């Protein structure tokens, strides 16, 4: 009497790319004192966005606009394109799922970096795609290696995040422009720019929205502080954008989220404020790391990867020690990047807690390994 799952689903593990802090808190039986692991913006959304969402709450009895017309129009004006170049969806994660569903059939090749954002891999595997991975080079994703592997395996999709998660590294715009120009015929570059609002000037290449070789993913979760609202968008050629209408959840975007994102986009002063807060937090995290004999990596995101100076086993012990001391952080999954822990930008009180907990976590990790 069991449901008759597809062969593909029967072959898959029941996996979750990230175990959320709420799940960990339930398992621990107590909350975290500092939430520094999910790369959220503890600095919050624009006050204007909060007010817009409060107003929209009284209209939540209505479905959201299935076309996200007002938000798409505003995003198009912001980027100098047309609304036909924009699709809005349930965060970048949701849009990645739609994109993979559009393009990947069982057996199709997809290229990514070993240790890059695992949710993309989750979607590819869920639709039967075959992942081909290349290593990082010097804690950066390697555009040349990605292109070479894509040509070898006739990849339909090539994934690259710029700036990168989990390392916080980045490539400049000319590097990305050269990569786009060299995308093999029949492939599409998925350029994940979730953190680009927090990166140095000159990180993002100019938007050439009619280029059929690239789709750019953006989000309101990071700089705009709306992670819980689940609002992402993609910029691409109109033919690709219109194809999303064949398979997307047309009522996936609620009215409250659309209103909040529209108001957040209009409040660029708040985004600049958050950029300043993130820069100060990155500097503080780096100082805490150095005070403990660790090496912070340069970051263009709202987190800092900290090199713990040994291997992944040691870094995992440091991570466990911080969790035991009620500081929620995460770490890369794949060597050699897993020698690091990853700490999100926090408020001064959050980082005070990190500074208090890290020495003891390091001492415990060292004693366990001796």
Query: What pLDDT does 170 receive?
Result: 98
The arithmetic mean of pLDDT across residues 21-26, rounded, is 95
Question: What span, in angstroms and rounded, lies between the C-alpha atoms of 260 and 249?
Answer: 20
The arithmetic mean of pLDDT across residues 6-15, rounded, is 91
Query: What pLDDT does 128 receive?
Result: 97
Residue in this structure with the two tokens 């140095």, named with its chain if needed: 200
Beta bridge partners of 130: 109
β-strand pairing of 34-35 with 86-89: unpaired
Q: What are phi and psi of 306, to 5 degrees?
A: -115, 120
Beta bridge partners of 74: none
pLDDT band for position 126 (cuts 50, 70, 90): very high
Q: Do 340 and 332 touch, CB atoms closer than 8 A?
A: yes
Mean predicted lDDT score pLDDT of the chain: 97
Tokens representing residue 95 in the block: 């849009």
Q: Of 276, 203, 194, 270, which is closest to residue 227 (Cα–Cα)?
A: 194
Question: What span, in angstroms and rounded, lies between the C-alpha atoms of 220 and 195?
Answer: 10
208 vs 166, 170, 289, 327, CA distance in Å?
27, 20, 40, 42
The arithmetic mean of pLDDT across residues 332-350, rounded, is 97
198 vs 44, 244, 292, 306, 351, CA distance in Å?
15, 28, 26, 18, 19
Question: What span, in angstroms and rounded, lies between the C-alpha atoms of 228 and 65?
Answer: 19
Q: What is the pTM of this model?
A: 0.96
Tokens representing residue 48 in the block: 């204007």
The arithmetic mean of pLDDT across residues 28-44, rounded, is 97
Rg of the chain's alpha carbons, rounded to an integer? 21
**pLDDT tens-digit series, residues 171-200:** 999 999 999 999 999 999 999 999 999 999
Show the domains of the chain with their CATH numbers: 7-44+269-369 (3.90.1150.10), 48-267 (3.40.640.10)
pLDDT band for position 325 (cuts 50, 70, 90): very high
Question: What span, in angstroms and rounded, lies between the C-alpha atoms of 245 and 68?
Answer: 12
Q: Do 75 and 261 touch, CB atoms closer than 8 A?
A: no
267 vs 50, 190, 230, CA distance in Å?
12, 28, 18
DSSP 163-201: S-TTT-----HHHHHHHHHTPPTT-EEEEE-TTGGGSPT
Query: What pLDDT does 363 receive?
Result: 97
pLDDT at 370 over 60: no
Query: What pLDDT does 2 receive?
Result: 84
Question: What span, in angstroms and rounded, lies between the C-alpha atoms of 351 and 136?
Answer: 29
Determine what percent of the chain is predicted with pLDDT higher than 70. 100
Query: What pLDDT does 17 receive?
Result: 81
**pLDDT tens-digit series, residues 252-288:** 999 999 999 999 999 999 999 999 999 999 999 999 9
119 prior amide bond cis, ω within 30: no
pLDDT band for position 14 (cuts 50, 70, 90): confident
Question: What span, in angstroms and rounded, lies between the C-alpha atoms of 43 and 270?
Answer: 10
């Amino acid at each position: 009497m069991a449901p008759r799952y597809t062969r593909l689903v029967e072959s898959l593990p029941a996996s979750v790319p990230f175990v959320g802090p709420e799940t960990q808190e339930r398992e621990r039986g107590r909350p975290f004192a500092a939430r520094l692991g999910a790369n959220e913006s503890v600095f919050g959304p624009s006050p204007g966005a909060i007010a817009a969402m409060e107003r929209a709450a009284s209209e939540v009895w209505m479905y959201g606009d299935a076309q996200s017309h007002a938000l798409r129009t505003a995003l198009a004006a912001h980027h100098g394109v047309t609304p036909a170049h924009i699709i809005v969806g349930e965060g970048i994660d949701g849009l990645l799922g739609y994109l993979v569903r559009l393009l990947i059939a069982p057996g199709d090749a997809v290229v990514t970096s070993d240790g890059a954002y695992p949710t993309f891999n989750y979607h590819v595997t869920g639709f039967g795609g075959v992942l081909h991975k290349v290593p990082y080079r010097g804690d950066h994703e390697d555009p040349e290696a990605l292109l070479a592997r894509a040509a070898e395996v006739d990849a339909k999709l090539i994934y690259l995040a710029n700036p990168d998660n989990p390392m916080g590294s980045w490539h400049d715009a000319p590097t990305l422009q050269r990569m786009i120009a060299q995308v093999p015929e029949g492939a599409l570059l998925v350029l994940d720019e979730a953190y680009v609002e927090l990166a140095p000037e000159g990180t993002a290449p100019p938007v050439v929205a009619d280029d059929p070789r690239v789709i750019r993913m953006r989000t309101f979760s990071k700089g705009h502080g709306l992670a819980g609202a689940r609002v992402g968008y993609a910029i691409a050629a109109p033919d690709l954008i219109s194809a999303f209408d064949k398979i997307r959840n047309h009522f996936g975007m609620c009215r409250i989220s659309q209103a909040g994102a529209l108001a957040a986009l209009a409040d660029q002063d708040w985004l600049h404020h958050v950029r300043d807060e993130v820069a100060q937090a990155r500097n503080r995290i780096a100082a805490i790391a150095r005070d403990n004999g660790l090496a912070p990596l340069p970051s263009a995101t709202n987190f800092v990867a900290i090199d713990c100076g040994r291997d992944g086993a040691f870094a995992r012990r440091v991570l466990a020690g911080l969790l035991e001391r009620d500081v929620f952080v995460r770490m890369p999954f794949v060597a050699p990047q897993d020698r690091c822990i990853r700490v999100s930008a926090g408020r001064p009180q959050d980082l005070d807690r990190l500074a208090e907990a890290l020495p003891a976590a390091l001492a415990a990790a060292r004693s366990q390994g001796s």
